[in-house]
Amino acid sequence: MERSARAPEGRYIWPAECDLMARLAGLVLEQRVADWTGAPFTSDSESHVSVWRKPLDDHEES
């Protein structure tokens, strides 16, 4: 059986889309940066790395 390497399929997900999906899942935004080096995220950023977490209780807000 021969296997071939393929690039993963996907698309850019806008931060607002991620925020909505995370909020609907009950998560809160912990941190957002522009890239894996930790550069600040700005309106000019071409990428984003976002970290969400599950709140400790139902009353915790971001």
Domain membership flag for residue 8: no
Domain count, the chain: 1
Domain membership flag for residue 29: yes
Residue range(s) defining the domain that contains residue 33: 15-53
Domain membership flag for residue 34: yes
Mean pLDDT of the 15-39 span: 95
- The whole-model pTM stands at 0.66
Is residue 34 within 8 A of residue 49, CB to CB? The reply is: yes
Domain membership flag for residue 61: no
Mean pLDDT (the chain) is 87
Q: How confident is the model at residue 3 (pLDDT cuts 50, 70, 90)?
A: confident
Task: Give the residue from 5, 54, 1, 7 showing the smallest Cα distance to 28.
Answer: 54
Domain membership flag for residue 4: no
Give me the pLDDT at residue 1, please. Answer: 62
Q: How confident is the model at residue 61 (pLDDT cuts 50, 70, 90)?
A: low
9 versus 50: which is more confidently predicted? 50
Domain membership flag for residue 5: no
